[in-house]
Structure 1
């Protein structure tokens, strides 16, 4: 915990500093939501194609989902969401005429959430 998933348009691969974003988001998650630094995990998933409205060209999409154990207030979740959006502004720099559509959400992990670690 937290489980962070970032879906992004594949054409952003060279315009998205993913390691820098992940490190900065982990720091924000620790500061805002009280997570432990070693518990922060981010998975990046490039999307082969995105469509916005009727268009498949000229748009790029990034969506961040942060799953936390239950117990954070709505205000804490909103603050973390805003921090994620601000970090996207800093770490995603699409070139050309592409319109960037960025979004983020923070939600509670299901009570069934479990994990293990192995070396």
Structure 2
């Protein structure tokens, strides 16, 4: 844990290095909330469309969501959110003529219902 999802607009597909950004996000989780490095799992998903209000979004967007076990302080979570936003501002460059909207959410997982499995091939 944590499980990290990074959703981004199609226009940003070539605007950043996913592996490099994923490693940097994982390192921030280790530094700010004490995550185990081997437990950080980051997935990137190119989203085919964002709808904002009553229209399709015209600007590019990156939305990062952390799912973590409870126990971190509100201050630690806020520090992680701030650090990830700063990282996105540094590493993801908006396409010329567009704006970039970024957001981070950190949610606690219900420890009692969460399950995971590893299957060897």
- Please give the TM-score of this superposition, normalised by the length of structure 1: 0.91
SS at match of 2:90: helix
Q: How far does residue 79 in structure 1 lie from its aligned partner after superposition?
A: 0.5
User: How far apart are the structure 2 equivalents of 1:28 and 1:93?
Assistant: 20
Q: When the two structures are aligned, how many residues end up with a matched partner?
A: 119
Q: Deviation per CA, 1:5-54: give whole Å up to 9, x if none.
A: 11110110000221111111111100111111110001111111224445
Structure 1 vs Structure 2 CA RMSD: 1.5
8 A contact 1:18–1:91 mirrored in 2: no
- Give 1:92-107 correspondences, 5 Å limit: 92-107=92-107
Q: How far does residue 94 in structure 1 lie from its aligned partner after superposition?
A: 1.9
- Give 1:1-119 correspondences, 5 Å limit: 1-53=1-53, 56=56, 58-111=58-111, 112-119=113-120
User: How far apart are the structure 1 equivalents of 2:106 and 2:49?
Assistant: 24
Q: Which runs of 5+ in 2 are unaligned?
A: none
SS at match of 1:35: coil
User: How far apart are the structure 1 equivalents of 2:70 and 2:36?
Assistant: 15
User: How far apart are the structure 2 equivalents of 1:48 and 1:99?
Assistant: 17
8 A contact 1:52–1:59 mirrored in 2: no
User: How far apart are the structure 1 equivalents of 2:19 and 2:3?
Assistant: 16
